[in-house]
Amino acid sequence: MSTIQKLMSTAKAMIAESKGLLAMDESTPTCNKRFEKLGIPQTEEARRSYREIILTTHGLNESISGVILTDETIRQSKRDGTSFLKIIADAGIIPGIKVDAGAKELAAHPGEKLTEGLDGLRERLQEYSQMGARFAKWRAVIAIGKGIPSRGCIDANACLLALYSSLCQEAGLVPIVEPEVLMDGDHSMDKCLEVTEEVLQTVFNQLYVQKVKLEGIILKPNMILPGLACTKQAAINEVADATVECLLRVVPAAVPGIAFLSGGQSSELASAHLNAMNTRFKSRLPWGLAFSFARAIQQPALEIWKGKEVNLLSAQRALYHWAKCNRNARLGDLA
Ligand code: 13P
């Protein structure tokens, strides 16, 4: 099989008709912050136990096509010694890996960030590929505020996303291209639409410049939403319509799939928005619309678990439930 055929077949499996991705790739600081709020110890063992709970949830593979791991998690094992990678493979789930090194302050651009991680990336991708990873993720963040985002921030992030993507494809890994326009702030939905359209347009230009094969990527965008502090929140169908309108303008039909991030929406709203998009537009879209949620699938389970063994089964039930809701939303079938 040629490299492009391999990439296309992986991307197709990631975006399978009734499934989506589970992002379980919170960095250690992010994981620690979420654990701290719930009184869970901020240790490697607590993170390992939590990831074991996720990966041993019975029936996860009914809704989840792929999981995004971190460098720590991909090397970990269950308490009984079985490696996480074996559990994932046995469940028929595709393992992926977050490879960016996080968003750092962008020089000369107060309030803006640039995602780093290109140094040594070719070698790291080779190692992950040998371990069994079949796709990768890189997240860029774009904030909306007074005078931002700037052209400098959008261009620099788009350029690095494209360079990362071409390295992934060289290594036979499907790049998840994630330019996240953040929900923080009081901006309107129209502002989010304007910025997201500009960001995606720039990202696709850069992917073209870097000769990335669009058939072998998955786009992971934000939905079009008003800022969290905006006084005028939007109806579910308004979000669905604006998001699809934006994507139709800028995402080429060659892209096999779009898997949204949840970005701080509640679990209920994230599923409802995805469901509305699929119910209203699915038959008319060139790409599949799926999910690649972290918080919207995991947060309820984490809040139930609280680091306590006795809560394990209830936490797994919640995880299964939210994964299943998004399976239904992927099908446009959410009750
Ligand atoms: P959320 O769904 O919590 O936004 O996370 C998705 C993700 O992978 C962020 O990089």
> What is the predicted pLDDT for the residue at 335?
86
Residue of 137, 178, 180, 324 marked catalytic = 178
Would you call 220 a catalytic residue per the annotation? yes
Would you call 6 a catalytic residue per the annotation? no
Distance CA(226)–CA(74), nearest Å, equals 35
> What is the predicted pLDDT for the residue at 211?
98
Distance CA(37)–CA(333), nearest Å, equals 34
Query: Is residue 239 a contact partner of residue 230, using CB atoms and an 8 Å limit?
Result: no
CA 261 to centroid of ligand 1, rounded, Å: 5
Distance CA(46)–CA(50), nearest Å, equals 6
Residue of 220, 282, 309, 324 marked catalytic = 220
**280: Cα within 13 Å, side-chain hemisphere:** 16
> What is the predicted pLDDT for the residue at 181?
98
CA 291 to centroid of ligand 1, rounded, Å: 10
Q: What residues contact 25, with CB distance under 8 A and at least 6 apart?
A: 68, 69, 70, 73, 97, 98, 137, 294
Q: What is the pLDDT along the chain (335 residues), one digit of tens a residue?
A: 899 999 999 999 999 999 999 999 999 999 999 999 999 999 999 999 999 999 999 999 999 999 999 999 999 999 999 999 999 999 999 999 999 999 999 999 999 999 999 999 999 999 999 999 999 999 999 999 999 999 999 999 999 999 999 999 999 999 999 999 999 999 999 999 999 999 999 999 999 999 999 999 999 999 999 999 999 999 999 999 999 999 999 999 999 999 999 999 999 999 999 999 999 999 999 999 999 999 999 999 999 999 999 999 999 999 999 999 999 999 999 98
CB neighbourhood size of 259 (10 A)? 26
> What is the predicted pLDDT for the residue at 286?
98
Report the SS3 class of residue 231.
coil
Report the SS3 class of residue 21.
strand
**238: Cα within 13 Å, side-chain hemisphere:** 11
Judge if the upstream peptide bond of residue 149 is cis by omega within 30 degrees of 0. yes
In this prediction the pTM is: 0.98
Q: Whose CA is nearest to atom 5 of ligand 1?
A: 294
Helices (H), 81-150: 84-90, 121-131
Domains in the chain, CATH or no CATH each: 3-331 (3.20.20.70)
CA 173 to the chain's CA centroid: 16
Residues with CB under 6 A from ligand 1: 23, 139, 178, 261-263, 293-296
